[in-house]
């Protein structure tokens, strides 16, 4: 089970993730309060230790702009969080892994997005494209058959992540607002979340042996 900490913006954030070593960190290149410039993201990524990979989050951005930012920062993954379709993904022409976010409406179906390497499930909001800090109705979509590897996002925290993992069996869990205090990343909350997920993984591995 992999862990992504999204919304990294500050040198202090990198110091924290270097300590707890999530598998991925996310830089948001969309106009939200967690926006980070490509230049800042490049500088922050250069200070990462270990094997933590970088994810760039984009919303309905021009393909050529996405490619340029991915090359500037040295991204490992491109996460598309808008209305991008298979044709858009073809136009990207990048070697980066592609994650396509699906904003789930309660009771709605989950498409198996063509062209993406992995699918990320997040809460639908008419006002926001992500980072709402709220879960969608897990019980309504938990039995949906999704062929691609799944990343679970949307309102995850240390108290509900075990249930989310049990229902969806994702390859990765993605957290942002639940590990913040007053809008900035909180070391204690990141520590608690990462330790909770890793403990769950260790317990699952022992059961499978």
Residues marked active site are found at 6, 122
The CA-atom distances, in angstroms, between 158 and each of 5, 14, 85, 168 are: 13, 21, 33, 16
Q: Where are the beta strands (DSSP E) in 59-149?
A: 77-80, 97-104, 118-123
Are the beta carbons of 52 and 25 closer than 8 angstroms?
A: yes
Cα 18 to chain center, whole Å? 17
Give the span between the Cα atoms of 66 and 58, in whole angstroms: 7
Are the beta carbons of 154 and 104 closer than 8 angstroms?
A: yes
Q: Where does the chain have alpha helices with state H?
A: 11-20, 38-46, 63-73, 86-92, 138-141, 161-168, 187-208
What is the 3-state composition of the chain as percent helix, strand, coil, each rounded to the nearest 5? Answer: 35, 20, 45
């Amino acid at each position: 089970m992999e862990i992504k900490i999204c919304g990294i913006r500050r040198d202090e954030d990198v110091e924290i993730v270097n300590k707890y070593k999530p598998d991925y960190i996310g830089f948001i290149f969309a106009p939200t309060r967690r926006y980070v410039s490509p230049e800042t993201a490049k500088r922050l990524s250069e200070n990462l230790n270990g094997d933590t990979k970088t994810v760039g989050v984009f919303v309905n951005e021009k393909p050529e702009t996405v490619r340029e930012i991915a090359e500037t920062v040295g991204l490992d993954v491109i996460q598309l969080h808008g209305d991008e379709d298979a044709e858009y993904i073809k136009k990207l022409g990048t070697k980066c892994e592609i994650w396509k976010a699906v904003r789930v409406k309660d009771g709605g179906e989950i498409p198996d997005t063509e062209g993406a390497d992995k699918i990320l499930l997040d809460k639908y909001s008419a006002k926001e494209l992500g980072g709402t800090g709220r879960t969608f109705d897990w019980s309504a979509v938990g039995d949906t058959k999704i062929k691609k590897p799944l990343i679970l996002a949307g309102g995850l925290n240390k108290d509900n992540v075990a249930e989310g993992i049990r229902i969806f069996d994702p390859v990765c869990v993605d957290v942002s607002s639940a590990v913040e205090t007053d809008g900035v990343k909180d070391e204690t909350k990141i520590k608690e979340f990462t330790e909770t997920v890793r403990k769950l993984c260790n317990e699952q591995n022992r059961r499978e042996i």
